[in-house]
């Protein structure tokens, strides 16, 4: 949900999401902190040889649903290929925050990660193995946009995309029907709805930022709605400065939402907020669709609906935050053909259908996957992605990891606390960090 790390190893909050997860699974190894990741390789014995019939798989998908989904994939792959997959599951935030140490230590052969700059950063550092040979087999299953998102700065392929998921406002249909709420199409309508919800005794906008990264989603959407997708990309690449009116306008606009967001946000995880939404204590929640993994009661799950972030100014609703998650190959894993075979399997409609059969909260990326079982919510989310003019990866995936984690997380948490932000300080830190690259 994050992008995190030597610049990175001091990092705190996690992403990308972006899919966020907890611990146990095939060959699950319970661990914590750095030893957890440096010991996260099932061993370099058989898995390191070219003719191996085994591989190690490091997973940050530690929440129950995605963990079970990856177990279904590894079981299906083993049954089909005869290759053993030794999975090491690590708590999601730990996995993200210690990734730099992990990759420089004794990593697994392949591991869960993200598209965007967060992938390119480690490829540029020589910590990943390119997988152009895998893409020769699976390339036809992906759109040009997904191929671009899987390509390193050197033009080589590094990621096998498994799924992506839109960020938007989620809510319970029955609560809205009972209260007569209507989906807001503009920012003014959003604030008016929030006032009504507050008067009705609800937390209007559920919000949680204990882990640091979730607030980036609000920043990204307000930035894209006010200044456009290209400005988001240029700001995260530091081609635009932080100490300008366009950035200040984002925070000034956000101030109008602060009174309606959960006042306890800094002490809450996104799972805490998901429970509030499920319990009808809050009216809506801006998060990624992985949110729906929390609703194991079918009656609640079927009652969840979604709408895109309303238009504010320039971009309307043309840009969607829809991060891409998948698998990367470590430098060590590059020597193991079994790991490449496993990644190729996940790049097929068959492999992604197995994943989606257990975790339907995301949208499979391979062409030809089965959409016949899509719920109305899945269809709506898939349409939001396919109809988007531009798709962003989330701040902590598009920006330099150290900027996201060491600068942006504390700045956003401070802003949430007291409504103030020092854009000159953000620019000074950005200048220093990007110049060091």
Per-residue model confidence as pLDDT tens digits over 67-123: 999 999 999 999 999 999 999 999 988 898 889 899 999 999 999 999 988 899 999
Q: How many domains does the chain have?
A: 1
pLDDT of res. 316: 62
Q: Is there a domain that residue 64 lies in?
A: yes
pLDDT of res. 314: 62
pLDDT of res. 2: 40
Residue 292: alpha-carbon gap to chain centroid: 14
Can you say whether residue 427 is alpha, beta or left, with left for phi > 0 and alpha for psi between -120 and 50 degrees? alpha
Range of the domain at 94: 6-164+324-374
Q: Is there a domain that residue 157 lies in?
A: yes
CATH code where residue 14 lies: 3.40.190.10
Does the N-terminal peptide bond of residue 19 adopt cis geometry, omega within 30 degrees of 0? yes
Q: Is there a domain that residue 425 lies in?
A: no
Residues shown for the chain: 437
Q: Is there a domain that residue 48 lies in?
A: yes
pLDDT of res. 170: 98
Positions of the chain with pLDDT under 70: 1-51, 314-316
Q: Is there a domain that residue 271 lies in?
A: no
pLDDT of res. 145: 80
Give the CA distances from residue 285 to residues 2, 249, 392, 414, in Å, rounded to whole numbers and listed in that order: 19, 23, 19, 21
**What span, in angstroms and rounded, lies between the C-alpha atoms of 355 and 364?**
9
**What span, in angstroms and rounded, lies between the C-alpha atoms of 341 and 348?**
11
Q: Are residues 304 and 171 in contact, defined by beta-carbon separation less than 8 angstroms?
A: yes
pLDDT of res. 7: 33
- pLDDT tens per residue across span 313-335: 865 678 899 999 999 999 999 99
**What span, in angstroms and rounded, lies between the C-alpha atoms of 231 and 351?**
36
Report if pTM > 0.75: yes
pLDDT of res. 148: 85
- pLDDT tens per residue across span 337-383: 999 999 999 999 999 999 999 998 889 999 999 988 888 998 899 88
pLDDT of res. 37: 40
The backbone torsions φ and ψ at residue 64, rounded to the nearest 5 degrees and listed phi first, read -55, -45
Q: Is there a domain that residue 122 lies in?
A: yes
Q: Is there a domain that residue 40 lies in?
A: yes
Q: Is there a domain that residue 384 lies in?
A: no
């Amino acid at each position: 949900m994050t992008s995190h790390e030597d610049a990175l190893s001091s990092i705190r909050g996690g992403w990308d999401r972006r899919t966020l997860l907890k611990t146990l699974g095939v060959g699950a190894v319970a661990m914590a902190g750095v030893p957890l990741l440096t010991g996260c390789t099932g061993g370099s014995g058989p898995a390191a040889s070219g003719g191996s019939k085994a591989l190690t798989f490091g997973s940050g998908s530690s929440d129950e649903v995605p963990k079970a989904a990856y177990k279904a994939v590894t079981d299906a792959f083993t049954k089909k290929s005869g290759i053993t997959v030794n999975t090491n599951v690590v708590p999601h935030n730990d996995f993200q925050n210690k990734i730099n140490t992990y990759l420089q230590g004794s990593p697994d052969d392949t591991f869960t990660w993200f598209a965007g700059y967060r992938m390119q950063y480690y490829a540029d550092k020589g910590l990943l193995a390119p997988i152009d040979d895998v893409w020769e087999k699976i390339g036809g299953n992906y759109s040009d946009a997904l191929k671009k998102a899987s390509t390193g700065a050197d033009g080589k392929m590094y990621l096998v995309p498994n799924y992506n998921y839109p960020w938007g406002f989620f809510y319970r249909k029955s609560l809205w029907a009972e209260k007569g709420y209507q989906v807001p199409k503009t920012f003014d309508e959003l604030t008016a709805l929030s006032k009504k919800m507050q008067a009705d005794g609800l937390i209007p906008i559920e919000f949680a930022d204990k882990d640091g990264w979730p607030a980036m989603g609000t920043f990204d959407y307000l930035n894209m709605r006010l200044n456009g997708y290209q400005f988001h990309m240029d700001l995260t690449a530091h081609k635009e400065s932080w100490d300008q009116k366009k950035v200040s306008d984002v925070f000034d606009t956000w101030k109008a939402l602060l009174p309606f967001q959960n006042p306890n946000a800094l002490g809450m995880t996104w799972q805490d907020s998901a429970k509030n939404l499920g319990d009808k204590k809050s009216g809506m929640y801006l998060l990624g669709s992985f949110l729906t993994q929390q609703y194991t009661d079918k009656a609640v799950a079927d009652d969840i609906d979604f709408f895109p972030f309303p238009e504010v100014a320039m971009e309307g609703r043309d840009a969607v935050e829809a991060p891409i998650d998948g698998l990367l190959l470590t430098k060590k894993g590059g020597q193991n053909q079994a790991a490449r075979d496993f990644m190729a399997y996940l790049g097929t409609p068959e492999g992604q259908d197995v994943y989606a059969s257990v975790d339907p909260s995301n949208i499979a990326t391979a062409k030809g996957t089965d959409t016949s079982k899509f719920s109305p919510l899945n269809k709506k989310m898939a349409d939001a992605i396919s109809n988007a003019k531009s798709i962003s990866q989330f701040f902590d995936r598009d920006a330099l990891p150290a900027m996201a984690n060491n600068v942006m997380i504390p700045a956003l948490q401070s802003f949430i606390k007291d409504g103030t932000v020092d854009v000159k300080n953000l620019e000074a830190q950005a200048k220093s960090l990007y110049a060091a690259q």
